[in-house]
Amino acid sequence: MATRPTNAKRATGVLIALLIIAIVLAMFFAYRRSAGLGHLHGPRLHVSLSHLPYYAFCSFMRMTAAYVLALIFSIVYGLLAAKGRAWERVMLPAIDIAQSVPVVGFFPAAIYFFVSLAHGRFGVEMAAVFLIFTSQAWNMALGVFESVKTLPNDSIEALEAFGATGWLRLKRLLLPACVPKLVYNSILSWVAGWYYLIACEIIAVGPAHYELPGLGSYLMKAADKGRTGELITGLLALLAIIILMDGIVWQPLSEWAEKFRYEFAASSEPMRALGMLAVLGSVGPTVLKIFRNLTRPVAGTIHRALASTPPFEAAHHPALQRAWRIVRIGLIATLLFIVTKGLLDGTIALLRTLRQPWPSAVRQIPAATGASLLRMLAAYAISLAWTIPCAIAASESPRFARRLAPLAEIVGSMPATALFPLIVIFVIKVTGGMNLASILLILTGMQWYVLFNLLAGISQVPADLKEAVRSFGLSRFATWRKLTLPAILPSLITGSITAWGGGWNALILSEYFVYRSTTYKVFGLGAMLDDATYQTGNGLMILLTLLSMVFVVLVLNRLVWRRLYDIATDRYRIDY
Amino acid sequence: MPLLELKHISRSFPHAKGTLPVIEDLSFTVEEGEFVAVVGPSGCGKSTMLRIINGLMEPTSGQVLYKGKQVDGINLECALVFQSFALMPWLSVKANIELGLEARGVAPNEREKRASVYIDKVGLDGFEEAYPRELSGGMKQRVGLARALAVEPQLLLMDEPFSALDALTAITLREELLDLWQDKTMPVHNIIMVTHIIEEAVELADRILVLSTGPGRLVADLKVELPRPRDRRKEGFNALTDKVFSLIEERA
């Protein structure tokens, strides 16, 4: 068992993380000199069905660009991190921090940064791709790292015994070893990517007043204009893309990835059955048949192409290797230069920003943090209130579990952000205020993580334990207390950690909403951040709100969740 | 009146092509005070049979009579010992043993008293507060045994109880089980043990039921007349073992 860090070490970790984030943040603002958001103009958005395919295409291209970047990044980063203890010690905590930071909060900063690099639409596009990238890269990089780290020693030694090093070692051993985890995480990342894609398109069209053509902005506009028909068509288009991608790309890919799995390292990840197709099947067998016929040729072609490709057969050329070495040195030098200059500029900018006169609103930050935390807690309580009974019901009735799982999968892979305009407008119309809407929006960013983890936990409760409690005649309530609840506790904690991560992101979107040129907001940290970003443009306030958010997230993670996780995996692990 | 009577029990499971019969027309009776071992190759439905007796599973057809009455739901006068021990990893040894007592609504102080009696009987003194993952396989099965004995069942059902243990530990536990069974102060006088280890059946049981595979049918019902304590090196022991072996091989 790994040694557990002490509280002092944890606290230092939080502090160092905060400092790094502050500098990175400041780096963004150091480059914003020339960029004002005021003079941004995007193409005009049309809410009409004839434009929908184009918008869907734009969104899809953004996703693809971000995913390709994330894929390249994750392989390079993961391999480097697995290279040695020293690399690992720096690069893993960096991922840990990057994962727990609410990326949505950085979107405005990213717009500033990229627009100052490349003016106009291209800058905003880059910002959007960057945001999606940050939601996809980390878990994939971790997947690569874990794959290389868990490589059986004898495989490594066998290759070394044959004198295989460098490129050969990479393509014959390391890359193939990464494939299963990389594909599995790609699917997760793709789902997460949709969430953030829609989010940044909504931000762009809403508070940032920049029209980024895409599905998210289309949905927002349609909701804004009260065009229900177009809104629903847009949602259906989104659903169609998600299901098509699943059937055409991810399904064949995960089957292909199975070839790379080490037989003796049994799969611990839940194999993704095509739950969506099962749902379609239960809706109507004809729909399923039509869908199968439509996708079969394409999926078949991809499948054949993958099958006929031996894993990573590439030209093995001395000239190529020499060229690669030169390119590598150049890349490292450029990277070093950029990082050093960025850090320097960032530190200067940080100091300059902090020396500005502090606005009186700073004093409200603690109260706003409290208000936002309460909203998060309310959303978390609602999540638990329905997912735990669902999980218990699933544990008592396998039939219910079989029906719930694919349904949850299809609903959960729909980016909840796509429903934001609908929810906000409905709730504002009914209650006239934003508070309930805000909690509901956070809920959409939280609940699925809890549910999926609980369902996975329930499915892993050993059959003999279930038989034992039945055989001893435990009552229903006693069974919950002695078996079901303790058994799902580790999954509950894991799910909660992910859910809070999603919740923080949703918080930023949920406390501040622009609808029909009216800004709806509540008192909270997210709203404060948005206010500073879009209204006052006060760099210091943006910095401080983001920092306090990151601080709360890190403190909660280190002092609450990590501890609960330790306890849960220590005591409630099923491994006897 | 016999303690237990199985009448024409059949059980099948849903399968890719229709149903798969696992037990077919199984009938036998168990008298008061008997130690019955059920042997057969894997897939002969012996574990399924044990679950039907306990009431964890319903037969597709046929009847189970316990003391002349049809079993409906879980029979709380039985207790089951699992091959995989099936201990709750988050409960201490003591809490695991009290599990069945709690289910039967026994008061806390009485629970504690009874748990400590059986902790003592199976030799778990000093391990009351340990968690299952801290114990060796043999110790875990002692907890499983104590948990079953603590509810003071009329009929103890054992599903390959020593198969997951190493050979030496299994020998020790078998001897301890016999001691417990012959201990007149113990309330348990009836045991049905399912096993695929033929020597184990011959060493322990009064009677051996031999099942055939695919689907499980009763092939032979043998009385074991060897005097106790039984010695593996004696002539009669090996003769009986060979006989059971050939009975199983004929039908395989």
Q: Which amino acid is at B124?
A: L
Instruction: Locate all alpha helices (DSSP H) within A262-364, ordered by sequence.
Output: 275-283, 285-308, 318-355
Structure tokens at A537: 């443009």
State residue A166's pLDDT score. 67
Of A474, A574, A576, the CB nearest to B103: A474
Residue A188 burial by Cβ neighbours in a 10 Å radius (0-12, 13-18, 19+): middle
Find the helix or strand (DSSP H, E) in which A519 lies.
Answer: strand A518-521
B129 near A CB under 8 A: no
Of A465, A486, A571, the CB nearest to B86: A465
Structure tokens at A75: 């392989």
Q: Which amino acid is at B166?
A: D
Q: What is the mean pLDDT of residues B14-29?
A: 87
CB count within 10 Å of CB A153 equals: 7
User: What are the chain B neighbours of A475 within 8 Å (beta carbons)?
Assistant: 103
Intra-chain end-to-end CA distance of chain B, in Å: 34
Q: What is the mean pLDDT of residues B209-216?
A: 87
> Rounded to an integer, what distance in angstroms lies between the CA atom of residue A343 and that of residue A28?
10
Q: Is A413 or B20 the better-scoring residue by pLDDT?
A: B20
Q: Give the closest-approach CA distance of A181 to chain B in angstroms.
A: 29
What residue in A sits closest to B136 (Cα-Cα)? A576
Give the strand order in the sheet containing B61-66. B19-30, B4-14, B61-66, B69-70
Given an 8 Å threshold on Cβ–Cβ distance, is A474 in contact with B131? no
> Above pLDDT 90, what percent of chain B?
71
Question: Does ipTM come in above 0.90?
Answer: no
Q: Which amino acid is at A458?
A: I
User: Which residues of A lie inside 8 Å of B (Cβ-Cβ)?
Assistant: 462, 464-465, 467-475, 478, 482-483, 486, 489, 571-576
Q: Is B173 within 8 Å of B165 (Cβ atoms)? A: yes
> Above pLDDT 90, what percent of chain A?
14
> Rounded to an integer, what distance in angstroms lies between the CA atom of residue B182 and that of residue B190?
11
State residue A209's pLDDT score. 65
What residue in B sits closest to A484 (Cα-Cα)? B88
Q: Which amino acid is at A336?
A: L
| Half-sphere exposure in the Cβ direction for B158 (13 Å, CA) | 33
Given an 8 Å threshold on Cβ–Cβ distance, is B103 in contact with A473? yes
Find the helix or strand (DSSP H, E) in which A79 lies.
Answer: helix A52-81
Structure tokens at B71: 């079993």
CA neighbor of B224 nearest in space, from B241, B249, B245, B211: B241
In total, the C-beta contacts within 8 angstroms joining chain A to chain B are 68
State residue A267's pLDDT score. 37
State residue A269's pLDDT score. 39
Given an 8 Å threshold on Cβ–Cβ distance, is B90 in contact with A472? no
State residue A529's pLDDT score. 85
SS3 B30: strand
State residue B208's pLDDT score. 95
Of B51, B89, B103, the CB nearest to A472: B103
CA neighbor of A512 nearest in space, from A524, A502, A503: A524
Of A472, A473, A573, the CB nearest to B89: A573
Q: Is B217 within 8 Å of B248 (Cβ atoms)? A: no
Q: Is A424 or B111 the better-scoring residue by pLDDT?
A: B111
Instruction: Determine if the pTM surpasses 0.80.
Output: no
Q: Is A142 within 8 Å of A78 (Cβ atoms)? A: yes
Instruction: Locate all alpha helices (DSSP H) within B21-135, ordered by sequence.
Output: 46-54, 93-103, 108-121
Structure tokens at A352: 């300059």
CA neighbor of A474 nearest in space, from B56, B145, B186: B56
Find the helix or strand (DSSP H, E) in which A513 lies.
Answer: strand A512-515
> Rounded to an integer, what distance in angstroms lies between the CA atom of residue A159 and that of residue A156?
5
Q: Is the pLDDT of residue B56 over 80?
A: yes
State residue A410's pLDDT score. 73
Residue A523 C-alpha from the chain's centroid = 26
Given an 8 Å threshold on Cβ–Cβ distance, is B89 in contact with A574? yes
Given an 8 Å threshold on Cβ–Cβ distance, is A470 in contact with B74? yes
Of B76, B82, B102, the CB nearest to A478: B102
Of A464, A571, A572, the CB nearest to B86: A464
> Rounded to an integer, what distance in angstroms lies between the CA atom of residue A190 and that of residue A305?
22
Q: Is B32 or A180 the better-scoring residue by pLDDT?
A: B32
**DSSP output for A432-457:** SSSHHHHHHHHHHHHHHHHHHHHHHH
Q: Give which of B90, B135, B160 to mutate to test A binding, by max A Cβ within 10 Å.
A: B90
CA neighbor of A181 nearest in space, from A142, A153, A151: A142
Touching A: B residues 215-244, CB under 8 Å: none
What residue in B sits closest to A483 (Cα-Cα)? B88
Residues (pLDDT < 50) of chain A are: 1-4, 34-35, 37, 39, 263-285, 310-315
> Rounded to an integer, what distance in angstroms lies between the CA atom of residue A240 and that of residue A233?
10
Residue B62 C-alpha from the chain's centroid = 21
Given an 8 Å threshold on Cβ–Cβ distance, is A483 in contact with B102? no
> Rounded to an integer, what distance in angstroms lies between the CA atom of residue A316 and that of residue A312?
11
What residue in B sits closest to A463 (Cα-Cα)? B86
Given an 8 Å threshold on Cβ–Cβ distance, is A483 in contact with B88? yes
Residue B174 C-alpha from the chain's centroid = 12
Of A464, A468, A571, the CB nearest to B90: A571
B103 near A CB under 8 A: yes
User: What are the chain B neighbours of A571 within 8 Å (beta carbons)?
Assistant: 89-90, 131
User: What are the chain B neighbours of A474 within 8 Å (beta carbons)?
Assistant: 99, 102-103
User: What are the chain A neighbours of B56 within 8 Å (beta carbons)?
Assistant: 467, 470-471
Q: Give the closest-approach CA distance of A391 to chain B in angstroms.
A: 19
B86 near A CB under 8 A: yes
Q: Is A410 within 8 Å of A275 (Cβ atoms)? A: yes
Structure tokens at B80: 């089951």
Q: Is A224 within 8 Å of A531 (Cβ atoms)? A: no
Of B51, B87, B104, the CB nearest to A576: B87
> Rounded to an integer, what distance in angstroms lies between the CA atom of residue A268 and that of residue A247?
23
What residue in B sits closest to A489 (Cα-Cα)? B90
